[in-house]
Chains A and B, each alone.
Chain A
Amino acid sequence: MRTLRAMRSRIRAAKNIQQITRAMKLVSAARLRRAQDRVLAARPYAQRMDEIMRELGHAGDLPDHPLLQRREVRHVGFVIITSDRGLCGAYNMNLIRALQTAIREQNLTQEQVCLVCVGKRGYQFFAKRGYTIALYRPMPTAGAGLEDARAVTSAISELFQTEQVDRVYLVYAHFVNPVTQRPTVQQVLPIEPPVGDEDGTREFIFEPPAEELLERLLPRYLLTQVLQALLEASASEHGARMTAMSMASDNAGKMIQELTLVMNRLRQAAITKEIAEVVGGAEALKG
């Protein structure tokens, strides 16, 4: 039975929710702007690093380095970057699904998978399902930074060099624009220099000698990739949350409108009924 009082309290509830979602939307918008500035400013550096590695691919045989070592793949590491908090639409679920798809496509059993989780959502999901989790770090609200990238990088380098995993992927949301995030699965270990479009090898001068140089360059390259993924993820998260909250606010508005309409109709009906009763009573007395 829909009473006027029940309707009023439902409208009040919808208004409260709208207030919260609107506030969250504003907060996300502010955070998004900061995160977006950071990711866009950091991209050229990451791209130039890529370019250096691509050119090095032309240098012919590089000296052996532990991070370049290709092995038969028995165990695979995934770094999954999600958010700590919900209320950001399908953001986390899309990433979790991207990881599950990757596991399925490579025909991996649960024992062959080792995870590094940044962000509570991904961690909770996979921990509950009994996956091995080598490292868990929360996703800082202010956006991930160099500290986080260092921790993740050292964890995956260690796992890879001790042969606990033979390959490592990053799973994160690439920031396309505030309303679009593309879940991305990207191999980072072993480091395979990106394939260039031109063929042929070139003689490179290395200073210091190649071995020593790679010793410094490769870890730096790995760190850059991880950091970039974290920055992309931060911006994507705030973008997703802003979109979700904006939609929630709109929906709450629509709901309030509909409920108000129904409530007014109910009120009108009640008034009409009362008038009819009064008129009916008066008629009866007259008779």
Chain B
Amino acid sequence: MREFLLSIVSPERVVLEERVVHVRLPGSEGYFGVLGGHAPMVAELTYGIGEYRRADGVMRRFTVLGGFAEVLPDRTIVCADAAELAEEIDPDRARVALRHALEILQQPLSEEELAEARLALERAKTRLRALGEQV
């Protein structure tokens, strides 16, 4: 298996920079997997859970909340609007956010507020799913 560099950055910080052998990303047209030596590609990302595997077999999950990815034979760059590793997620906070979003969605909302609330709901759900919870 060929190793390549996986770099995940969000506007706030560098989330991850590591040599990996495989990564799976939530593309806007569906999930896709990347191995070393992949053909050059630029893809839009949506909300979802990514997963990567290192040469030593360690696998880790992370969330991606929209953004772009560029795949090159020797590296994959993820510029996410927001991203975090599964172990960085605070489950209690995500659960509160989920409840809060559901409450807001019960109320009459303007179109803008509705879109905002739906995004918040999606974010919370994505985070909880990354922790392996059913939502």
Which residues does A use to contact B, with CB under 8 Å?
Answer: 41-42, 44-45, 48-49, 51-52, 55-56, 59, 202-208, 213, 216-217, 220, 224, 227
Contacts and interface: CB of A to CB of B under 8 A. Distances in A.
B8 to A, nearest CB: 9
B42 A204 contact: yes
Given A45-B9, A224-B11, 12 more contacts: A41-B12, A42-B11, A42-B12, A45-B11, A45-B12, A55-B42, A207-B27, A207-B29, A207-B42, A207-B43, A213-B44, A216-B44
Nearest to B27: A207
Given A51-B70, A207-B32, A217-B68, A45 B41 contact: no
B68 A56 contact: no
Q: What is the size category of the interface that chain B forms with chain A?
A: 20 to 34
Contacts of A55: 40, 42, 70, 72
Given A44-B9, A51-B70, A55-B72, A203 B42 contact: no
Contacts of B70: 51-52, 55
A58 to B, nearest CB: 8
A55 B40 CA distance: 9
Given A49-B79, A207-B27, A207-B29, A44 B40 contact: no
Nearest to A212: B44
Nearest to A220: B68
Contact of A52 (B10, B28, B79): B79
Contacts of A224: 11
A48 B70 CA distance: 9
A65 to B, nearest CB: 14
Contacts of B10: 45
Contacts of B44: 207-208, 213, 216-217
Interface in B45-98: 68, 70, 72, 77, 79
Interface string B1-22: 0000001011111100000000
Contacts of B14: 44
B135 interface: no
Contacts of A208: 28-29, 44
A49 B80 CA distance: 10
Nearest to A58: B40
B43 to A, nearest CB: 4
Nearest to B39: A205
B27 A205 contact: no
A198 to B, nearest CB: 12
Given A205-B40, A206-B41, A213-B44, A48 B77 contact: yes
B51 to A, nearest CB: 18
Nearest 5 A/B pairs, CB to CB? A205-B41, A207-B43, A52-B70, A45-B9, A204-B40
Contacts of A45: 9-12, 79
